[in-house]
Structure 1
Amino acid sequence: MSADANNEYFSDGLSEELLNVLARMPGLKVTGRTSSFQFKGENKDLRLIGEQLGVAHVLEGSVRQSGVKVRITAQLIDTATGFHLWSETFDRELNDIFAIQDEISASVAAALKVTLFGNTGEKVVGSRGTDRIEAYDLYLRGRYLREHISSDNIQQSIAVLHEAVALDPNYAAAWAQLSLSQARWTGTYTESLQFAQGYAIARRYAERALALDDQLAEAHIALGAGQWAYGFDLVASKATFLRALELEPNNIDALNWYGVQMAMDGQRDFALECLEKAVKLDPLSILSIAGLASALTIAGRFDESMELQRHALDIDPGVARIHGNIAYNYLLQGNLANAMAEYEKEPVNWVRDFGRILVLGRTGEQDAWAAALDEFIREYGKKDAYQIAEIYADAGDLEAAFEWLETALKVRDPGLVWIKTDALLAGLHDDPRWPIFLDKVWNKN
């Protein structure tokens, strides 16, 4: 870890690039980024780390930066014996950082006795996609900010990624990250742009990334996310996610996006297989855990889903949406007391307010339910149109539910991707308007 906390994004970004390079090497199993980073800065027994991650070796090191000088130390350790198989210190200038990355990857691979050469005899290394170290630095910072999610961080991520593509307009990876940051900002925060405007911008960025490098899995993931969550085009997004997986079969983001899409489309067995693979590759990734838990909830395996999500809370007690997801499982089981208790622990305001209203409706507290719903509509309005439709459907008010579903479609609310398997909308399924509305959402794809 960098000695300067302000440069932590640089250390994390370099580590992720190394992970990506190593993961492309034939015969080498590499645990995903989130699980690998879980132990950063901790002095834990490497044998226990090896058991948790299911790995035989651990690569650890540090990055220390002073001006344009950087010192990178790395060491490869056998988790069974604790023996150091290889270690190295690299003192370089930042304008040589790409060469450092390749040099470390080659040294680690040699220590593991894994070949770096394919049929062409060329090294298996990653492509940074830019020769501008300043642009690369901004890209790393933008990705770091997007992954450490908060309203301020997402806005800063967008800003620094704009700087990156301004320095190098042909930097495909930066355009892809900019698309993902824009989409997250649009779909998560009520103070962001309206769905139509924000997702249109995100799509333009993803298309720019693909035009620059159609072999970049990251760009395909960015495009597929928009095709599905805003375009509601299952055919196009499925093909796009599959292309990302063809390029990088073990890409965690691609496995999660594709697996969750399949779960919401009702293809439960295939979805579970895909998402279980993601968790196996990155067992401490909250994103992977949440994706698999969602699929288990859709399959009616509530206890298993809650067990997984409690594991996510063990990893990060303050993570957003997990208490709300546990509460939702309790709600579907009819355990309203536990559901309310979990909703009260949820740190995301609109999720907590939404859950309280659902519980009030199911406990028959009509006056309190109506007052809370009125306040919810005033506070969140069209940005939570889909959730308002869920509330009305769960309470049996079909007219209001369909009215708000139409509003959700009009504003292109990404919550609509849940519609086919959403248990809260089950009361609408026998209504003749239901299949008509499904056709409108999915464009008959």
Structure 2
Amino acid sequence: MLSDQSAPVVRATLPAVGAAIGDITELFYRKLFDAHPELLRDVFNRGNQAGGEQQKALAGSIAAFAGLLLDKPDARPDAMLARIAHKHASLGVTSAQYKVVHRHLFAAMAEVLGDAVTVEVAAAWDEVYWLMANALIAIEAGLYQEAGAAEGEVWHRMEITERRQETPDVVSFLLRPGDGHPAASFRPGQYVSVQVELPDGARQIRQYSLSAAPGQQFWRISVKRAHDATKPDGEVSSWLHEHAQPGDVLTVSAPFGDLVLPEGEGPLLLASAGIGNTPMLAMLDHLLCTGSARRVIAVHADRSPADHAHRDEQLALVRALPDGRLHLWYEVAGEQAPKAATGRADVSGLDLPEDVSAYLCGPLPFMRALRGDLLRRGVPAERIHYEVFGPDLWLGQ
């Protein structure tokens, strides 16, 4: 909660700060990486930095947090904070790094806004920053404790025991701990970070959902080669596709992520597009392994059956559930999927129980469209959950 002294100052300056927040975060990252180049080399996603996605995500989170402090002073945006905290924990972020961020962020703010940053304005926004930072530090401390790890010490060595080419663009890897013990448990829907050393010496990190049920001897990740004609191919996904083989050892984090299968017997909508079906596969596999009788409505959209990673597995899992149903949409269905619909996924005509909980994962336009459809169907916003691969440009929504 903002103090009585800071609240009116933040309210008065939020429009100006919000209008300049993009310039502030861009300058902040430049200052941060000039002072700490190892962070860009070994922690931050260089591709997202080059494309501006990370700057937009940081700007969105700060503006959203400040707005919520003003509009809902007695509430804390736990969903937003948890999503950020899980990502930070998967990277091994420590509490000391928040002081480093604070120093360069406020230097950038002062440089961009100039004389508008009076002593009172600086103090008020300092309060906003530390309310957010301390909340994240507390959540991250709990996550490290749950993982049985000291702060930031989340990394393990895991051996690739099997490699499977799922589609031309997707390869899956089975991983087991280097010490020979069974793989640790996790909550269905969570992800791990994978760190690889690239040819230039950088140790870049990316997150990949665990795509099979917990409680097995191994973990499975499914990696789609990041390819976009408008920017360079993904550094880590390309390296894994080209070099990672059985017998190789990867540096992998403990599992994190807040898009997890809920306890209980309530009905579920598991909606995905493209490689976004990976957390849903873990959820479906877990439901089947535990003998769940929950009603499960699975929705998946893809370019074509040939591009649908783990297609046969997803179909088999849903069919094996006592009350499961799968609805498919393909841009080009062809003879391989005569019963699939064409075009974008559309839940407006599906039979959805009133108490359904929805879980979405896929490209942002897909999730925006489905979330809007579900809201129009009367599904409460608090029962619509999502996972974003990459910087969350949807924060605060």
If the length of structure 1 is used for normalisation, what is the TM-score? Answer: 0.25
The structure with the larger Rg is: 1
If the length of structure 2 is used for normalisation, what is the TM-score? Answer: 0.27
Relative contact order, higher structure (CA 8 A, sep 6+): 2
- The answer to which structure has the higher strand fraction is 2
